[in-house]
Amino acid sequence: MAVRVLLFARLAELAGTREVDLDIGEGLTAADAYRLLVQRDGSLAGFESSLAYAVNREYVGAETPLSDGDELALIPPVSGGADAV
């Protein structure tokens, strides 16, 4: 099964890319796909507890199963901005 993984913010910076095509096994979840990416690139580790997941542009839980051709977005927490002066 093939899924396209979109990486945002710090994950994209660490991976050096915003998109990764990933072959995954049948019945794997969004969290499983993230773990497979970490196996390929250890610099992506450490976001497990704070990631937001979206499948086909809809926010989902980590345990959502993936299907062939899905687009999975991995969105780490972001911060920034400043108080108005």
Decide if 33 contacts 67 (C-beta within 8 A).
Answer: no
Would you list the domain boundaries of the chain? 2-75
pLDDT at 85: 56
pLDDT at residue 3 tops 70: yes
| Cα–Cα–Cα angle for 77, 79, 84, rounded to 5 degrees | 155
For 14-64, the pLDDT digits (tens) are 999 999 999 999 999 999 999 999 999 999 999 999 999 999 999 999 999
pLDDT at 1: 95
Please say whether the structural domain 2-75 has been given the CATH code 3.40.50.300. no
Rounded to whole angstroms, the Cα distance separating 33 from 72 reads 9
Its pTM stands at: 0.90
pLDDT at 83: 60
Rounded to whole angstroms, the Cα distance separating 19 from 29 reads 18
